[in-house]
């Protein structure tokens, strides 16, 4: 088990409830799923995005396009990009309501890079950010629109999100 010797913030059930709540909040704020698309930020945002899209589809009875975005080429803290197969957005973004999904928001730099990536591919009507965990400590003036849980942390602490598709279990820990 990944959580041994660390503080458990969310177990599988708490993660499921947070994803359900985020899904309902998206539907409520966006007045349904029309023109909605969901893009997960590689890596664990991809699995969370798929779960949110699945929940929205079950509620709204409407297919929601899902994609994934590798933000590496858009980051301001990395000099060289080696490339990678982690971006897959096979639908147009122009005029869409894009929900970016990430596991944790911390400084805001990943969210900024993701917005740059989306804008390089099209001109959406709106971009919103959904995160499982907001840990604070912003360096950029960004905030998440949909938050699973706020977890105040020190800069020395680390939040680890585990998803069953990638890690074999669902949980969030702090160390």
Paired tokens of 44: 């664990």
Report the pLDDT value the prediction gives residue 75, as an integer from 0 to 100.
86
Residues 6+ apart with CB under 8 A from 67: 37, 38, 39, 40, 49, 87, 88, 89, 90, 91
Structural contact between residues 48 and 22, judged by C-beta atoms closer than 8 angstroms: no
Q: What is the pLDDT of residues 65-109, one digit of tens each?
A: 999 999 999 988 765 555 556 899 999 999 999 999 999 999 999
The closest of 41, 22, 54, 37 to 130, measured between CA atoms, is 22
Which pLDDT score, from 0 to 100, does residue 68 have?
A: 97
**Quick one: average pLDDT of 41-62?**
97
Position 6 confidence tier, pLDDT thresholds 50, 70, 90: confident
Mean pLDDT value of segment 14-36: 97
Mean pLDDT of 111-115: 97
Concatenating the DSSP letter of every residue in 90-133 gives: -S--TT-EEEEEEEEESSSHHHHHHHHHHHTT---SEEEEEEEE
Mean pLDDT of the chain: 93
The residues pairing with 105 across neighbouring beta strands, listed in sequence order, are 134
> Which percentage of the chain shows pLDDT scores above 70?
93
Given a cut of 60, whether residue 41 has pLDDT beyond it is yes
Tell me: pLDDT of 2 over 60. Answer: no
The predicted structure's pLDDT at residue 151 = 96
DSSP 88: B
Q: Give the pLDDT confidence score for residue 84 in this predicted structure.
A: 57
Beta-carbon count within 10 A of 167 CB: 14
The Cα–Cα gap between 139 and 51 comes to 29
């Amino acid at each position: 088990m990944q959580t041994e010797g660390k503080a458990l913030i969310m177990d599988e059930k708490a993660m499921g409830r947070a994803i359900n709540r985020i899904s309902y909040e998206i539907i409520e704020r966006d007045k349904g799923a029309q023109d909605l698309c969901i893009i997960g930020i590689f890596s664990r945002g991809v699995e969370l995005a798929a779960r949110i899209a699945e929940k929205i589809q079950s509620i709204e009875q409407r297919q929601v396009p899902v994609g994934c975005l590798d933000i590496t080429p858009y980051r301001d803290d990395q000099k060289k990009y080696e490339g990678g197969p982690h971006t897959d957005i096979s639908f147009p973004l122009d005029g869409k309501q894009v929900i970016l999904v990430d596991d944790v928001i911390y400084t805001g730099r990943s969210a900024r890079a993701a917005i740059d990536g989306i804008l390089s591919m099209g001109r959406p009507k709106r971009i919103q950010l959904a995160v499982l965990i907001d840990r604070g400590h912003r360096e950029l003036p960004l905030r998440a629109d949909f938050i699973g849980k706020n977890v105040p942390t020190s800069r020395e602490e680390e939040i680890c999100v585990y998803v069953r598709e990638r890690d074999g279990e669902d949980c969030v820990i702090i160390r």
